Amino acid sequence: MTDDHTPADMDGGAENPAPEEPNASDSDANLEAMLDVLQAENAALKDQMLRVAAEAENAKRRAEREANDARAYAIQRFARDLLGVADNLSRALQHEPAGEDPVVKNFVLGVELTEKELAQAFERNGLKKVDPPKGAKFDPNLHQAMMEQPASDVEPGAVIQVMQAGYELMGRIVRPALVVVAARNSGSAPAGGDVGQTVDTKA
């Protein structure tokens, strides 16, 4: 007679062991490690975003500067050609003919209106006149000294007369104002100054 035994009978009816529960300390360590990784990735993305924003702002400013330079260069050449016209109109008005002839008066009025309209056109396009008043401090960035003359009513080195007005375009000098400056030994020279020494108009 054969014995019919099942595997369970052969194991003596022993039950399967229960699965082990995960260690709580290991879970906390894994969570902390994942948190550190996420924080590092977040910091890297934030730094990358700030860099991209800064590069975009720099590119915007560079494009604006290049556009302004291109516009200024395009106008500058045209403006130089028109400065001679403005000078001639100014000289014509300085030598206005005397008399009461209505034809002459109308002609002079027409020249004045033309000069005014040209000056307004310059102003609208950013071309500003450099015409320092008498006694103004000499500025080598805007003025060019053509000669020195004694003067008792202005400080040494100051502008006495403007021989030809200058112009600047968007902060860039197109043509310096040609001026006459007071000699160093004229007027009330500063204490300790060397009498007879010419003013350094290039400083």
Assess if residue 176 is contained within a domain.
yes
- pTM for the complete prediction? 0.53
Helix or strand or coil: residue 120? helix
Do 32 and 107 share a structural domain?
yes
Assess if residue 106 is contained within a domain.
yes
pLDDT of residue 78: 82
Do 114 and 93 share a structural domain?
yes
pLDDT of residue 202: 46
Please give the distance of CA 69 from its chain centroid, rounded to a whole number. 10
How many residues does this entry show for the chain? Answer: 203
> Quick one: average pLDDT of 51-71?
88
pLDDT of residue 105: 86
Pull the structure tokens for residue 108: 């002079």
pLDDT of residue 194: 41
Residue 190: HSE in the Cβ half-sphere, 13 Å Cα cutoff: 7
- Tell me the residue type at 57: E
pLDDT of residue 192: 38
pLDDT in tens, 167-187: 998 788 899 999 999 998 755
Assess if residue 3 is contained within a domain.
no
pLDDT in tens, 110-145: 999 999 999 898 888 888 899 999 999 999 999 999
On whether the CB atoms of residues 181 and 145 are closer than 8 A, the answer is yes
Do 75 and 36 share a structural domain?
yes
pLDDT of residue 32: 84
Q: Looking at the 3D structure of the chain, how many domains does it have?
A: 2
Do 140 and 120 share a structural domain?
no
Pull the structure tokens for residue 45: 């993305």
Between 25 and 159, the more confident residue is 159
